[in-house]
Structure 1
Amino acid sequence: MSNEDITLTAGNAEVRVSPGNGGRLSGLKVDSLELLRQGPRFGCFPMVPWCGRIRDGRFLDGGTVRQMPLNSPPHAIHGTARDGAWRIARVSADEAVITCELTDPWPHPARVTQVVSLAEDALTLTMSVETYDDSFPAQLGWHPWFNRTLDGVDARLDFEPAWQEERGDDHLPTGNRTDRKPGPWDDCFGMPGGVDVTLTWPDRLELKVTSREEWVVVYDEQTEAVCVEPQTGPPNGLNTLPRLVTPLDPLEATTTWTWRRL
Protein backbone atom coordinates (compact mmCIF):
# COMPACT_ATOMS: atom_id res chain seq x y z
CA MET A 1 0.00 0.00 0.00
CA SER A 2 1.18 3.55 -0.64
CA ASN A 3 2.04 5.93 2.17
CA GLU A 4 -0.24 8.75 1.03
CA ASP A 5 -2.20 10.64 3.67
CA ILE A 6 -5.18 8.86 5.19
CA THR A 7 -8.32 10.72 6.28
CA LEU A 8 -10.50 9.11 8.95
CA THR A 9 -13.95 10.44 9.83
CA ALA A 10 -16.47 9.88 12.62
CA GLY A 11 -19.42 12.22 13.03
CA ASN A 12 -18.09 15.78 12.84
CA ALA A 13 -14.51 14.69 13.61
CA GLU A 14 -11.79 14.18 11.01
CA VAL A 15 -8.18 13.10 11.49
CA ARG A 16 -5.45 13.08 8.86
CA VAL A 17 -2.67 10.51 9.21
CA SER A 18 0.58 11.01 7.28
CA PRO A 19 2.53 7.73 7.14
CA GLY A 20 5.02 9.24 4.72
CA ASN A 21 5.94 12.00 7.20
CA GLY A 22 7.09 10.02 10.20
CA GLY A 23 3.75 8.37 10.98
CA ARG A 24 2.40 11.61 12.40
CA LEU A 25 -1.13 12.95 12.64
CA SER A 26 -1.08 16.01 10.40
CA GLY A 27 -4.55 17.26 11.30
CA LEU A 28 -7.48 16.81 13.67
CA LYS A 29 -10.66 18.74 13.01
CA VAL A 30 -13.71 18.90 15.26
CA ASP A 31 -16.48 20.63 13.33
CA SER A 32 -14.44 23.32 11.57
CA LEU A 33 -11.83 23.74 14.34
CA GLU A 34 -8.32 22.48 13.54
CA LEU A 35 -6.84 21.37 16.86
CA LEU A 36 -3.29 20.59 15.70
CA ARG A 37 -0.68 23.09 14.60
CA GLN A 38 -0.13 22.78 10.87
CA GLY A 39 3.21 22.25 9.15
CA PRO A 40 5.48 19.32 8.27
CA ARG A 41 7.24 19.34 11.68
CA PHE A 42 4.09 19.66 13.74
CA GLY A 43 0.75 17.83 14.04
CA CYS A 44 1.36 14.95 16.44
CA PHE A 45 4.38 12.73 15.93
CA PRO A 46 5.32 9.42 17.56
CA MET A 47 8.32 9.45 19.88
CA VAL A 48 9.98 6.03 19.64
CA PRO A 49 12.26 4.23 20.55
CA TRP A 50 12.86 7.01 23.09
CA CYS A 51 11.11 10.17 24.30
CA GLY A 52 12.63 13.55 24.91
CA ARG A 53 16.39 13.89 25.24
CA ILE A 54 19.07 11.27 25.83
CA ARG A 55 22.06 12.82 27.60
CA ASP A 56 24.85 13.26 25.02
CA GLY A 57 22.96 10.80 22.80
CA ARG A 58 24.38 7.87 24.79
CA PHE A 59 22.64 5.08 26.65
CA LEU A 60 23.67 1.81 28.23
CA ASP A 61 22.38 -1.24 26.36
CA GLY A 62 23.30 -4.24 28.48
CA GLY A 63 27.05 -3.77 28.81
CA THR A 64 27.38 -1.68 25.64
CA VAL A 65 27.30 2.11 25.39
CA ARG A 66 25.27 3.12 22.33
CA GLN A 67 25.62 6.46 20.56
CA MET A 68 22.62 8.04 18.82
CA PRO A 69 22.90 10.98 16.38
CA LEU A 70 22.92 14.35 18.17
CA ASN A 71 19.87 15.84 16.46
CA SER A 72 19.43 18.37 19.30
CA PRO A 73 23.05 19.04 20.34
CA PRO A 74 24.40 18.14 22.77
CA HIS A 75 21.63 15.54 23.05
CA ALA A 76 19.60 13.13 20.92
CA ILE A 77 15.87 13.85 21.02
CA HIS A 78 12.50 12.15 20.33
CA GLY A 79 13.62 8.88 18.74
CA THR A 80 14.11 7.92 15.11
CA ALA A 81 10.69 6.77 13.88
CA ARG A 82 9.46 10.30 13.10
CA ASP A 83 12.26 10.70 10.52
CA GLY A 84 11.15 8.11 7.97
CA ALA A 85 8.13 6.76 6.16
CA TRP A 86 5.74 4.29 7.75
CA ARG A 87 3.80 1.59 5.93
CA ILE A 88 0.02 1.34 5.85
CA ALA A 89 -1.09 -2.03 7.21
CA ARG A 90 -4.87 -1.55 7.34
CA VAL A 91 -7.41 1.24 6.90
CA SER A 92 -11.16 1.56 7.49
CA ALA A 93 -13.41 4.60 7.65
CA ASP A 94 -12.47 5.39 11.26
CA GLU A 95 -9.27 3.42 11.95
CA ALA A 96 -5.78 3.17 10.48
CA VAL A 97 -2.93 0.84 11.38
CA ILE A 98 0.57 1.87 10.30
CA THR A 99 3.97 0.28 10.94
CA CYS A 100 7.64 1.10 10.73
CA GLU A 101 10.81 -0.90 11.14
CA LEU A 102 13.45 0.35 13.56
CA THR A 103 16.76 0.25 11.71
CA ASP A 104 20.10 2.07 11.71
CA PRO A 105 21.04 4.13 13.72
CA TRP A 106 18.96 2.13 16.23
CA PRO A 107 21.00 -1.01 16.94
CA HIS A 108 18.15 -3.52 17.34
CA PRO A 109 15.73 -4.66 14.63
CA ALA A 110 12.18 -4.10 15.82
CA ARG A 111 8.74 -3.21 14.54
CA VAL A 112 6.62 -0.29 15.71
CA THR A 113 2.87 -0.45 15.16
CA GLN A 114 0.56 2.52 15.65
CA VAL A 115 -3.23 2.22 15.68
CA VAL A 116 -5.27 5.41 15.16
CA SER A 117 -8.95 4.99 16.11
CA LEU A 118 -11.42 7.85 15.72
CA ALA A 119 -14.84 8.20 17.38
CA GLU A 120 -17.25 11.15 17.25
CA ASP A 121 -15.91 12.52 20.53
CA ALA A 122 -12.52 10.85 20.98
CA LEU A 123 -9.29 9.77 19.34
CA THR A 124 -7.38 6.76 20.67
CA LEU A 125 -3.73 6.18 19.77
CA THR A 126 -2.05 2.87 20.61
CA MET A 127 1.59 2.15 19.87
CA SER A 128 3.73 -0.93 20.41
CA VAL A 129 7.37 -1.91 19.97
CA GLU A 130 8.03 -5.59 19.23
CA THR A 131 11.42 -7.25 18.95
CA TYR A 132 12.15 -10.33 16.90
CA ASP A 133 15.13 -11.69 18.83
CA ASP A 134 17.28 -9.63 21.23
CA SER A 135 16.09 -7.49 24.14
CA PHE A 136 16.73 -3.77 24.55
CA PRO A 137 15.60 -0.71 26.50
CA ALA A 138 13.02 1.53 24.80
CA GLN A 139 10.41 4.20 25.37
CA LEU A 140 7.45 5.44 23.40
CA GLY A 141 5.11 8.39 23.52
CA TRP A 142 3.36 11.09 21.50
CA HIS A 143 4.23 14.71 20.84
CA PRO A 144 1.05 16.62 19.86
CA TRP A 145 1.26 20.30 19.00
CA PHE A 146 -2.18 21.62 19.98
CA ASN A 147 -3.02 25.06 18.62
CA ARG A 148 -2.86 27.50 21.51
CA THR A 149 -5.55 29.67 19.92
CA LEU A 150 -8.83 28.29 18.58
CA ASP A 151 -11.31 30.65 16.96
CA GLY A 152 -9.67 33.65 18.64
CA VAL A 153 -9.55 32.12 22.12
CA ASP A 154 -6.43 30.94 23.98
CA ALA A 155 -6.24 27.56 25.71
CA ARG A 156 -6.21 27.10 29.47
CA LEU A 157 -4.18 24.17 30.79
CA ASP A 158 -5.32 22.21 33.86
CA PHE A 159 -3.54 19.26 35.48
CA GLU A 160 -2.61 18.13 38.99
CA PRO A 161 0.66 16.17 38.92
CA ALA A 162 2.04 14.37 41.96
CA TRP A 163 5.43 15.92 41.24
CA GLN A 164 7.56 17.81 38.74
CA GLU A 165 10.93 16.43 37.68
CA GLU A 166 13.50 19.10 38.51
CA ARG A 167 15.15 20.22 35.26
CA GLY A 168 18.84 20.97 35.08
CA ASP A 169 20.55 23.56 32.88
CA ASP A 170 21.00 20.80 30.29
CA HIS A 171 17.18 20.39 30.06
CA LEU A 172 17.37 16.90 31.61
CA PRO A 173 15.85 15.74 34.90
CA THR A 174 18.32 15.98 37.79
CA GLY A 175 16.73 13.09 39.69
CA ASN A 176 15.13 15.43 42.22
CA ARG A 177 11.35 15.90 42.39
CA THR A 178 9.54 19.09 43.33
CA ASP A 179 6.01 20.39 43.55
CA ARG A 180 4.71 21.82 40.30
CA LYS A 181 6.26 25.18 39.58
CA PRO A 182 4.61 27.96 37.55
CA GLY A 183 4.94 27.74 33.76
CA PRO A 184 5.81 28.22 31.01
CA TRP A 185 7.10 24.66 30.97
CA ASP A 186 9.38 22.35 29.11
CA ASP A 187 9.12 19.86 31.92
CA CYS A 188 8.25 16.31 32.86
CA PHE A 189 5.58 15.57 35.46
CA GLY A 190 4.62 12.42 37.33
CA MET A 191 1.00 11.32 37.47
CA PRO A 192 1.01 7.85 39.08
CA GLY A 193 -2.74 7.44 38.66
CA GLY A 194 -2.37 8.00 34.91
CA VAL A 195 -1.92 11.05 32.74
CA ASP A 196 -4.94 13.37 32.94
CA VAL A 197 -4.55 16.84 31.42
CA THR A 198 -7.34 19.17 30.27
CA LEU A 199 -7.03 21.87 27.63
CA THR A 200 -9.94 24.32 27.59
CA TRP A 201 -10.61 26.95 24.97
CA PRO A 202 -13.38 28.88 26.78
CA ASP A 203 -16.75 28.84 24.99
CA ARG A 204 -15.19 26.74 22.20
CA LEU A 205 -13.93 23.28 23.17
CA GLU A 206 -12.62 21.15 26.02
CA LEU A 207 -10.02 18.45 25.28
CA LYS A 208 -8.84 15.84 27.79
CA VAL A 209 -5.58 13.96 27.23
CA THR A 210 -5.47 10.73 29.24
CA SER A 211 -3.25 7.66 29.42
CA ARG A 212 -2.55 4.84 31.85
CA GLU A 213 1.11 5.87 31.67
CA GLU A 214 2.34 8.02 34.56
CA TRP A 215 4.68 10.39 32.72
CA VAL A 216 3.78 13.51 30.78
CA VAL A 217 5.92 16.30 29.37
CA VAL A 218 4.23 19.69 29.02
CA TYR A 219 5.83 22.15 26.61
CA ASP A 220 4.17 25.54 26.25
CA GLU A 221 7.09 27.90 25.68
CA GLN A 222 6.00 28.70 22.12
CA THR A 223 3.23 31.20 21.41
CA GLU A 224 1.60 29.07 18.69
CA ALA A 225 1.11 25.76 20.47
CA VAL A 226 0.76 23.77 23.68
CA CYS A 227 2.26 20.27 23.76
CA VAL A 228 0.98 17.58 26.15
CA GLU A 229 3.12 14.47 25.69
CA PRO A 230 2.15 11.20 27.41
CA GLN A 231 5.09 8.79 27.49
CA THR A 232 6.28 5.55 29.08
CA GLY A 233 9.18 7.15 30.98
CA PRO A 234 10.90 10.44 31.70
CA PRO A 235 13.42 12.20 29.47
CA ASN A 236 16.78 10.36 29.51
CA GLY A 237 14.77 7.36 30.69
CA LEU A 238 16.81 4.89 28.62
CA ASN A 239 19.51 5.61 31.21
CA THR A 240 17.55 6.39 34.36
CA LEU A 241 14.46 4.16 34.12
CA PRO A 242 15.02 1.59 31.37
CA ARG A 243 12.04 -0.47 30.25
CA LEU A 244 13.18 -3.67 28.59
CA VAL A 245 11.49 -4.87 25.42
CA THR A 246 11.83 -8.63 24.98
CA PRO A 247 10.44 -11.13 22.45
CA LEU A 248 7.87 -12.17 25.08
CA ASP A 249 7.14 -8.69 26.43
CA PRO A 250 6.58 -5.91 23.88
CA LEU A 251 6.26 -2.29 24.96
CA GLU A 252 2.76 -0.92 24.43
CA ALA A 253 0.97 2.27 25.46
CA THR A 254 -2.27 4.09 24.69
CA THR A 255 -3.44 7.67 24.92
CA THR A 256 -7.00 8.91 24.42
CA TRP A 257 -8.04 12.45 23.59
CA THR A 258 -11.67 13.18 24.43
CA TRP A 259 -13.41 16.43 23.49
CA ARG A 260 -16.67 18.25 23.87
CA ARG A 261 -17.89 21.51 22.39
CA LEU A 262 -18.65 24.26 24.90
Structure 2
Amino acid sequence: MNITIKDNISEVVIAPDLGASILAYTYIANNKSISIFPNRIGVEDVTSTACFPLVPFSNRIREGKFTWQDKDIQLPLNQLPELHANHGHGWQVKWQVIEQSDASVTLSYSYTSNDWPFPYQAIYRFELQNGELLQTLTLKNVGTSEMPAGLGLHPYFSRTKQASLVADVSKMWEVDHESMPIKVIDAPSCIQSTSGMVMNSHQLDNTFIDFPAKAEVSWPEWNVKADITASENCKFMVVYSPKEEDFFCVEPVTHSPDAINMHSQGIENTGFSSLRPNKEMSIWMKVAPKMSH
Protein backbone atom coordinates (compact mmCIF):
# COMPACT_ATOMS: atom_id res chain seq x y z
CA MET A 1 0.00 0.00 0.00
CA ASN A 2 1.61 3.24 -1.16
CA ILE A 3 1.55 6.37 0.97
CA THR A 4 1.32 9.88 -0.48
CA ILE A 5 2.53 12.92 1.43
CA LYS A 6 2.01 16.43 0.07
CA ASP A 7 2.28 20.11 0.78
CA ASN A 8 1.18 23.19 -1.15
CA ILE A 9 3.55 22.65 -4.12
CA SER A 10 4.88 19.11 -3.98
CA GLU A 11 3.93 15.48 -3.59
CA VAL A 12 5.90 12.34 -2.73
CA VAL A 13 4.72 8.73 -3.11
CA ILE A 14 6.35 6.19 -0.80
CA ALA A 15 6.14 2.38 -0.85
CA PRO A 16 6.82 0.96 2.66
CA ASP A 17 6.40 -2.60 1.37
CA LEU A 18 8.93 -2.09 -1.43
CA GLY A 19 12.05 -1.34 0.58
CA ALA A 20 10.72 1.98 1.89
CA SER A 21 11.33 3.35 -1.59
CA ILE A 22 10.11 6.61 -3.11
CA LEU A 23 8.11 6.08 -6.29
CA ALA A 24 7.57 9.73 -7.28
CA TYR A 25 8.51 13.26 -6.23
CA THR A 26 6.77 16.06 -8.10
CA TYR A 27 7.07 19.81 -7.72
CA ILE A 28 4.91 22.57 -9.18
CA ALA A 29 6.88 25.21 -11.13
CA ASN A 30 5.45 27.64 -13.70
CA ASN A 31 2.07 25.95 -13.15
CA LYS A 32 3.58 22.70 -14.40
CA SER A 33 4.20 19.47 -12.51
CA ILE A 34 7.95 18.72 -12.60
CA SER A 35 9.30 15.25 -11.80
CA ILE A 36 12.29 15.93 -9.55
CA PHE A 37 12.63 12.16 -9.23
CA PRO A 38 11.35 10.08 -12.17
CA ASN A 39 7.86 8.62 -11.81
CA ARG A 40 8.21 4.94 -10.91
CA ILE A 41 4.68 4.19 -9.71
CA GLY A 42 3.91 0.60 -10.64
CA VAL A 43 7.45 -0.78 -10.67
CA GLU A 44 8.10 -3.94 -8.67
CA ASP A 45 11.92 -3.89 -8.48
CA VAL A 46 13.37 -1.65 -5.78
CA THR A 47 16.42 -0.73 -7.87
CA SER A 48 14.02 0.68 -10.47
CA THR A 49 12.33 3.03 -7.99
CA ALA A 50 13.16 6.71 -7.39
CA CYS A 51 15.01 6.43 -4.06
CA PHE A 52 15.75 3.83 -1.40
CA PRO A 53 17.64 3.65 1.93
CA LEU A 54 21.14 2.19 2.36
CA VAL A 55 21.35 0.52 5.77
CA PRO A 56 23.38 -0.82 7.60
CA PHE A 57 26.00 -0.17 4.92
CA SER A 58 26.25 1.62 1.59
CA ASN A 59 27.38 0.31 -1.76
CA ARG A 60 29.43 -2.88 -2.16
CA ILE A 61 31.31 -5.21 0.17
CA ARG A 62 33.74 -7.20 -1.94
CA GLU A 63 32.41 -10.73 -2.49
CA GLY A 64 30.21 -10.15 0.57
CA LYS A 65 33.17 -11.07 2.80
CA PHE A 66 34.83 -9.34 5.72
CA THR A 67 36.43 -10.17 9.05
CA TRP A 68 35.15 -8.47 12.19
CA GLN A 69 36.45 -9.08 15.71
CA ASP A 70 38.31 -12.19 14.51
CA LYS A 71 35.19 -13.63 12.93
CA ASP A 72 34.91 -14.29 9.18
CA ILE A 73 31.55 -13.14 7.86
CA GLN A 74 29.99 -14.08 4.51
CA LEU A 75 26.98 -12.07 3.36
CA PRO A 76 24.61 -13.28 0.64
CA LEU A 77 25.29 -11.83 -2.82
CA ASN A 78 22.08 -9.86 -3.19
CA GLN A 79 22.34 -8.41 -6.70
CA LEU A 80 23.33 -11.34 -8.87
CA PRO A 81 25.08 -11.69 -11.25
CA GLU A 82 27.17 -9.14 -9.29
CA LEU A 83 29.82 -10.84 -7.19
CA HIS A 84 29.45 -8.50 -4.21
CA ALA A 85 26.99 -7.77 -1.41
CA ASN A 86 25.31 -4.46 -2.13
CA HIS A 87 23.50 -1.69 -0.23
CA GLY A 88 22.65 -3.50 3.01
CA HIS A 89 19.18 -4.82 3.86
CA GLY A 90 16.74 -1.92 4.09
CA TRP A 91 15.91 -1.86 0.38
CA GLN A 92 15.04 -5.57 0.37
CA VAL A 93 12.41 -5.64 3.13
CA LYS A 94 9.02 -4.30 4.16
CA TRP A 95 8.96 -1.39 6.60
CA GLN A 96 6.28 -0.56 9.19
CA VAL A 97 4.49 2.79 9.35
CA ILE A 98 4.86 4.20 12.85
CA GLU A 99 3.71 7.79 12.30
CA GLN A 100 1.92 9.60 9.50
CA SER A 101 0.48 13.04 8.71
CA ASP A 102 -0.46 14.92 5.52
CA ALA A 103 3.12 16.03 4.88
CA SER A 104 5.24 13.43 6.71
CA VAL A 105 5.60 9.74 7.39
CA THR A 106 7.96 7.72 9.60
CA LEU A 107 8.82 4.08 8.93
CA SER A 108 10.72 1.50 10.94
CA TYR A 109 12.46 -1.79 10.30
CA SER A 110 13.95 -4.18 12.85
CA TYR A 111 16.63 -6.66 11.86
CA THR A 112 17.42 -9.71 13.95
CA SER A 113 20.86 -11.11 13.34
CA ASN A 114 21.29 -13.58 10.51
CA ASP A 115 24.09 -13.62 7.90
CA TRP A 116 24.83 -10.10 9.15
CA PRO A 117 25.34 -11.07 12.79
CA PHE A 118 24.33 -7.73 14.32
CA PRO A 119 20.73 -6.92 15.23
CA TYR A 120 19.65 -3.32 14.66
CA GLN A 121 16.69 -1.01 14.28
CA ALA A 122 16.31 1.51 11.46
CA ILE A 123 13.99 4.54 11.45
CA TYR A 124 13.32 6.39 8.19
CA ARG A 125 11.42 9.69 8.14
CA PHE A 126 10.14 11.71 5.18
CA GLU A 127 8.96 15.33 5.54
CA LEU A 128 7.71 17.82 2.94
CA GLN A 129 7.69 21.58 3.50
CA ASN A 130 7.30 24.24 0.81
CA GLY A 131 8.32 21.73 -1.85
CA GLU A 132 11.46 20.62 0.02
CA LEU A 133 11.87 16.92 0.80
CA LEU A 134 13.79 16.06 3.98
CA GLN A 135 14.74 12.43 4.54
CA THR A 136 16.28 11.26 7.83
CA LEU A 137 17.66 7.75 8.33
CA THR A 138 18.70 6.47 11.77
CA LEU A 139 20.45 3.23 12.68
CA LYS A 140 20.55 1.86 16.24
CA ASN A 141 22.66 -1.08 17.38
CA VAL A 142 20.29 -3.18 19.51
CA GLY A 143 22.77 -6.04 19.95
CA THR A 144 25.37 -6.75 22.61
CA SER A 145 28.52 -6.27 20.52
CA GLU A 146 30.00 -3.45 18.47
CA MET A 147 28.93 -3.51 14.81
CA PRO A 148 30.31 -2.00 11.62
CA ALA A 149 27.88 0.68 10.48
CA GLY A 150 27.19 2.96 7.56
CA LEU A 151 24.28 4.81 6.00
CA GLY A 152 23.31 6.39 2.72
CA LEU A 153 20.40 7.43 0.53
CA HIS A 154 20.02 6.45 -3.12
CA PRO A 155 17.91 9.09 -4.93
CA TYR A 156 17.38 8.99 -8.69
CA PHE A 157 17.03 12.42 -10.30
CA SER A 158 15.22 12.96 -13.57
CA ARG A 159 17.65 13.29 -16.46
CA THR A 160 17.03 15.75 -19.27
CA LYS A 161 19.47 16.44 -22.11
CA GLN A 162 20.89 19.46 -20.28
CA ALA A 163 20.58 18.26 -16.68
CA SER A 164 23.74 19.03 -14.76
CA LEU A 165 25.37 18.58 -11.36
CA VAL A 166 27.60 21.01 -9.45
CA ALA A 167 29.57 20.00 -6.33
CA ASP A 168 32.79 21.22 -4.78
CA VAL A 169 34.63 17.91 -5.08
CA SER A 170 38.04 17.40 -6.69
CA LYS A 171 38.85 13.73 -6.05
CA MET A 172 37.05 10.44 -6.59
CA TRP A 173 37.69 6.72 -6.44
CA GLU A 174 38.57 5.20 -9.77
CA VAL A 175 36.76 1.86 -10.15
CA ASP A 176 37.32 -1.41 -11.97
CA HIS A 177 34.85 -3.14 -14.31
CA GLU A 178 32.90 -4.34 -11.26
CA SER A 179 32.57 -0.78 -9.87
CA MET A 180 34.98 -1.59 -7.04
CA PRO A 181 37.43 1.12 -5.90
CA ILE A 182 41.03 0.99 -7.13
CA LYS A 183 42.66 4.34 -6.31
CA VAL A 184 41.85 8.00 -5.74
CA ILE A 185 42.09 10.13 -8.90
CA ASP A 186 41.15 13.65 -10.00
CA ALA A 187 37.45 14.20 -10.59
CA PRO A 188 36.26 15.73 -13.88
CA SER A 189 36.88 19.44 -13.32
CA CYS A 190 33.54 20.42 -14.85
CA ILE A 191 31.69 19.25 -11.73
CA GLN A 192 33.17 22.25 -9.90
CA SER A 193 32.35 24.77 -12.63
CA THR A 194 29.36 27.09 -12.37
CA SER A 195 27.71 25.43 -15.37
CA GLY A 196 28.33 22.02 -13.84
CA MET A 197 28.75 18.52 -15.21
CA VAL A 198 26.21 17.73 -17.93
CA MET A 199 25.10 14.25 -16.94
CA ASN A 200 24.43 13.04 -20.48
CA SER A 201 28.14 13.54 -21.25
CA HIS A 202 29.49 11.41 -18.40
CA GLN A 203 29.14 7.74 -17.55
CA LEU A 204 29.96 7.38 -13.88
CA ASP A 205 29.64 4.92 -11.03
CA ASN A 206 32.12 6.62 -8.75
CA THR A 207 32.44 7.79 -5.17
CA PHE A 208 33.64 11.36 -4.68
CA ILE A 209 35.57 11.99 -1.45
CA ASP A 210 35.64 15.04 0.86
CA PHE A 211 32.07 15.85 -0.15
CA PRO A 212 31.06 19.14 1.53
CA ALA A 213 27.49 17.82 2.02
CA LYS A 214 25.99 20.10 -0.59
CA ALA A 215 25.45 20.00 -4.34
CA GLU A 216 23.12 21.45 -6.96
CA VAL A 217 21.18 19.81 -9.76
CA SER A 218 19.90 21.95 -12.65
CA TRP A 219 17.35 21.31 -15.38
CA PRO A 220 17.72 24.25 -17.80
CA GLU A 221 14.83 23.04 -19.95
CA TRP A 222 12.48 23.44 -17.00
CA ASN A 223 14.10 26.54 -15.45
CA VAL A 224 14.33 24.55 -12.24
CA LYS A 225 17.21 23.80 -9.89
CA ALA A 226 17.43 21.74 -6.72
CA ASP A 227 19.80 22.34 -3.84
CA ILE A 228 20.97 19.12 -2.22
CA THR A 229 22.19 19.33 1.35
CA ALA A 230 23.12 16.51 3.70
CA SER A 231 24.33 15.90 7.22
CA GLU A 232 28.02 16.56 7.85
CA ASN A 233 28.80 12.86 8.33
CA CYS A 234 27.96 12.26 4.65
CA LYS A 235 31.53 12.91 3.56
CA PHE A 236 31.16 10.89 0.34
CA MET A 237 28.94 11.32 -2.71
CA VAL A 238 28.25 8.47 -5.10
CA VAL A 239 27.31 9.56 -8.62
CA TYR A 240 25.76 6.93 -10.86
CA SER A 241 24.96 7.97 -14.43
CA PRO A 242 24.62 4.96 -16.73
CA LYS A 243 24.43 5.48 -20.45
CA GLU A 244 21.11 6.30 -22.12
CA GLU A 245 18.92 6.24 -19.03
CA ASP A 246 16.29 8.74 -17.89
CA PHE A 247 17.92 9.22 -14.48
CA PHE A 248 21.17 9.84 -12.65
CA CYS A 249 21.86 9.22 -8.97
CA VAL A 250 23.48 11.58 -6.47
CA GLU A 251 23.88 9.64 -3.23
CA PRO A 252 25.15 11.15 0.03
CA VAL A 253 26.78 8.34 2.02
CA THR A 254 28.97 7.98 5.10
CA HIS A 255 31.67 5.77 3.61
CA SER A 256 33.32 4.57 0.42
CA PRO A 257 32.51 1.23 -1.23
CA ASP A 258 34.06 -1.77 0.57
CA ALA A 259 35.11 0.54 3.40
CA ILE A 260 35.24 -2.25 5.97
CA ASN A 261 37.80 -4.26 3.99
CA MET A 262 39.83 -1.25 2.87
CA HIS A 263 39.95 0.04 6.45
CA SER A 264 41.22 -3.32 7.70
CA GLN A 265 43.95 -3.12 5.04
CA GLY A 266 45.10 0.22 6.46
CA ILE A 267 43.70 2.35 3.61
CA GLU A 268 42.79 5.85 4.80
CA ASN A 269 39.82 8.10 4.06
CA THR A 270 37.27 5.29 3.71
CA GLY A 271 34.72 6.73 6.15
CA PHE A 272 34.52 3.41 7.98
CA SER A 273 32.80 3.59 11.36
CA SER A 274 31.28 1.29 13.96
CA LEU A 275 28.51 1.48 16.55
CA ARG A 276 28.66 0.34 20.16
CA PRO A 277 25.63 -1.41 21.68
CA ASN A 278 22.62 0.89 22.20
CA LYS A 279 24.26 3.69 20.20
CA GLU A 280 22.73 5.40 17.15
CA MET A 281 23.92 7.12 14.02
CA SER A 282 21.82 9.25 11.68
CA ILE A 283 22.04 10.97 8.35
CA TRP A 284 19.74 13.40 6.61
CA MET A 285 19.35 14.71 3.08
CA LYS A 286 17.26 17.62 1.88
CA VAL A 287 16.27 18.25 -1.73
CA ALA A 288 15.06 21.82 -2.20
CA PRO A 289 13.72 22.61 -5.70
CA LYS A 290 13.40 26.22 -6.84
CA MET A 291 12.85 28.25 -9.97
CA SER A 292 16.08 29.26 -11.73
CA HIS A 293 16.32 32.60 -13.49
Could you state the TM-score of these two structures normalised by the residue count of structure 2?
Answer: 0.82
Supply the distance in 2 between the matched residues of 1:105 and 1:64 (Cα, whole angstroms): 12
Question: 1:239 is aligned with what amino acid?
Answer: N
Runs ≥4 residues deviating over 4 A = none
The aligned counterpart of 2:281 is 251
Question: 1:113 is aligned with what amino acid?
Answer: I
Equivalent residues of 2:162, 2:221 under 8 A apart:
no
- Aligned partner (choices 188, 196, 208) of residue 214 of structure 2: 196
Deviation digits for residues 22-68 of structure 1 (CA, Å, limit 9, x no counterpart)? 01111101021222231333210111111111101112222112111
Supply the distance in 2 between the matched residues of 1:105 and 1:23 (Cα, whole angstroms): 21
Match of 1:35, SS state, is strand
The aligned counterpart of 1:187 is 206
Alignment of 1:202-217 (within 5 A): 202-204=220-222, 205-211=224-230, 212=232, 213-217=234-238
The aligned counterpart of 1:51 is 58
Q: CA deviation at 1:203?
A: 4.5
Q: CA deviation at 1:140?
A: 1.0
- Aligned partner (choices 79, 101, 109) of residue 100 of structure 1: 109
Task: Return 5+ residue gaps in structure 1 as ranges.
Answer: none
* Pairing 1:164–2:172 present: yes
The aligned counterpart of 2:17 is 20
Alignment of 1:79-158 (within 5 A): 79-103=88-112, 104-133=114-143, 134-149=145-160, 154-158=162-166
Supply the distance in 2 between the matched residues of 1:60 and 1:157 (Cα, whole angstroms): 37
Q: CA deviation at 1:199?
A: 1.1
Task: Return 5+ residue gaps in structure 2 as ranges.
Answer: 190-201, 263-269
Supply the distance in 2 between the matched residues of 1:100 and 1:248 (Cα, whole angstroms): 16
Question: 2:159 is aligned with what amino acid?
Answer: R
Equivalent residues of 1:130, 1:246 under 8 A apart:
no
Could you state the TM-score of these two structures normalised by the residue count of structure 1?
Answer: 0.91
Deviation digits for residues 144-179 of structure 1 (CA, Å, limit 9, x no counterpart)? 111113xxx5411222213111223432112x3221
The aligned counterpart of 1:238 is 260
Query: Alignment identity in percent?
Result: 25
The aligned counterpart of 2:76 is 69
Higher helix share: 2
Question: 2:36 is aligned with what amino acid?
Answer: L
Question: 1:8 is aligned with what amino acid?
Answer: I
Higher strand share: 1
Supply the distance in 2 between the matched residues of 1:238 and 1:122 (Cα, whole angstroms): 34
Match of 1:44, SS state, is coil
Supply the distance in 2 between the matched residues of 1:228 and 1:142 (Cα, whole angstroms): 9
Supply the distance in 2 between the matched residues of 1:87 and 1:256 (Cα, whole angstroms): 22
Supply the distance in 2 between the matched residues of 1:257 and 1:50 (Cα, whole angstroms): 22
Supply the distance in 2 between the matched residues of 1:77 and 1:224 (Cα, whole angstroms): 22
Supply the distance in 1 between the matched residues of 2:104 and 2:116 (Cα, whole angstroms): 29
Supply the distance in 2 between the matched residues of 1:245 and 1:91 (Cα, whole angstroms): 29
Supply the distance in 1 between the matched residues of 2:283 and 2:70 (Cα, whole angstroms): 27
